[in-house]
Structure 1
Amino acid sequence: MTPREVFERLIAGVTGGDWDALPGLYAEDAVVVHPMAASREPLVGREALRRHFAAGAELPVRMSARDVVVHETADPEVVIGEFAYVGEATTTGRPFTVRNVFVLRVRDGLIVESRDYADHLRFGVAIGRPPGADAAGPTS
């Protein structure tokens, strides 16, 4: 898969709730950083990502990706995706919009590195987590 195709599958998997398939988009030793999350510790390795997405599967949300723009770069491994998760908390019906920018490095069809910029605080508030809680679940 091209970097663009991997990015598109990633956001389709998140919005479609295909949580079990998402770790397969990442290399065994992938590193994912959420610079805007309360916990800035990177997720290292596919197993860490499997746990991350399993937690995402438990979140009370229904959402879609909107305003998707993909920027292909001079580096054939790097793609930048801009988009918004638009949805609602299924427990409260509270709507939310969370804008995102993902910078992915894809090698041999797998994500080896990702920097996922998202407003985790806004997402946390929307799903009823207290301000300051790390709501990194479905953002990537």
Structure 2
Amino acid sequence: MRQSLKLLSGIALFFMAGCYPEQPSKTIVDAWEKPGADQLEIKKALLECGVQYLDGRLNIDKTLEEKFNAEESESVCMRQAGFQEKWEMVKWCEKYENLPICQPDAVIPKRSVERRLNSPHCEEHKEQPECQP
């Protein structure tokens, strides 16, 4: 009886912690979609819009404001390229109106193959399909 209670408690904690069996972790690639675009196209677009890493790593050398500005710039670039978010993402311009990307005269980044190929992700993973010219 005591062992069953421990087992049930463990299972309950497992599910309350958000750990569901056979559900892979969500990545930034999973957050975007576009009709006709496969995962490779989404990865290329993210890197071309300025995403540094596809695995969720953050640049620890940037200030918080720089991180928020970069993330909003990447999102604006993706939307401009015809992609849409699958789920609600933080809109940094609603929270931090003074970010450079939120200003009326802000330059909206466009997709850049050069940016993708020179990204830290592609520097580390030159063999990956998204890192091919």
Q: Tell me the TM-score range normalised by the shorter chain.
A: under 0.3
TM value normalised by structure 2: 0.25
As a proportion of its length, which structure holds more strand? 1
As a proportion of its length, which structure holds more helix? 2
